[in-house]
Amino acid sequence: MATARRLLLLQFGSEPSPKSISVRGAHDGIIWCPIVGAAVETDAGWVLLETGIGRPFLDDADARRAIYQSREQPWGLEGHPLVTALAEIPLAVRDLSLACVSHLHIDHSGGVRLLAEAGVPVAVHHRELDFAQSRAGVEHAYYAPDYDGPVDWRVLEGDTELAPGVWALETPGHTPGHLSYRVDLPETGTWLLAVDAADLAENLNDRVAPGWSAEPDDVIRAEQSLARLLDEAERLDARLVPGHDQAFWSAVRHPPGGHR
């Protein structure tokens, strides 16, 4: 079975969020959630998983306050968070052969326009793109300027191998076309990046699904997606990483040169 070469973990910033969004039945108090992604070196080139939060959105006070309605507000790395995070590896946007977005919420879609300008194709599930372009708005935490305009979309149907050792996995529920990721590495084995199918370690430990779905009918799908990831982690003896848990993310940040 093909494997990727190495995995490097990125943090673009952080955002305040009611815990009830991350854990069904939890309180509405604010927790701080890292905005994260990954760059994977493969035999087919560098693949970016998630594009973070964008500087145009962070500078759009009206849209930002419409989505983040608490006193606390999100922050991103200086400049454009995607450019700055990649430079720390170091990479540039033009070094990427492909990017993928799990879904098009504002903390995941912020680098899409930069990728489009650099000619980097962006993979997304067809249900996610349809929802974002036809029905989603700021009230769903979508920010159309991030992804409107010409983008070389690679529209996915079902689980898809993005590059050798890198897979996008269907995990709908948080949004209609949400994706998680599987990365197979030669030394550390399989990694599963849950993204927003499981925000916190609490989701995994207590088998409790996230508490918010863009479409109310997707609540059951969110439960099924969490169960799928937990089952896959056991079957593959994989490291299952929640998408918005700062303590967890800090603990698995890559060593020099990345995870191999």
Task: Encode pLDDT of 48-82 as tens digits.
Answer: 999 999 999 999 999 999 999 999 999 999 999 99
Residue among 22, 200, 175 nearest 102 (CA): 175
Q: What is the pTM of this model?
A: 0.98
Residue 132: φ, ψ to 5°: -65, -40
Residue 63 sits in a domain whose CATH number is 3.60.15.10
Express each pLDDT in 141-179 by its tens digit: 999 999 999 999 999 999 999 999 999 999 999 999 999
Would residue 247 count as lying in a domain?
yes
The string over 131-166, giving b where at least 16 C-beta atoms fall within 10 Å of a residue's C-beta and e elsewhere, is bbeeebeeebbbbeebbeeebebeebeeebebbbbb
| CB-based contact 111:85 (threshold 8 Å) | no
Distances from the Cα of 209 to the Cα of 19, 48, 57, 170, 189, angstroms: 12, 26, 28, 16, 26
CA distance 201 to 244: 9
Domain of 158 in residue numbering reads as 6-252
Would residue 64 count as lying in a domain?
yes
Would residue 161 count as lying in a domain?
yes
Residue among 177, 165, 193, 196 nearest 260 (CA): 165
pLDDT score of 231 more than 90: yes
Structure tokens at 183: 């990365």
pLDDT score of 213: 97
pLDDT score of 26 more than 90: yes
Would residue 42 count as lying in a domain?
yes
Would residue 257 count as lying in a domain?
no
Express each pLDDT in 94-137 by its tens digit: 999 999 999 999 999 999 999 999 999 999 999 999 999 999 99
pLDDT score of 1 more than 90: no
How confident is residue 199, by pLDDT bands cut at 50, 70 and 90?
very high
User: How many CB atoms are closer than 10 A to CB 178?
Assistant: 31
Average pLDDT over residues 235-256: 97
Would residue 121 count as lying in a domain?
yes
Task: Return the H-helix or E-strand segment holding 46.
Answer: strand 45-49
Q: Looking at the 3D structure of the chain, how many domains does it have?
A: 1
Please give the mean pLDDT across all residues of the chain. 97
What's the distance, CA 183 to chain centroid?
Answer: 14
Would residue 259 count as lying in a domain?
no
CA distance 71 to 17: 11
Would residue 191 count as lying in a domain?
yes
Residue among 101, 116, 248 nearest 175 (CA): 101
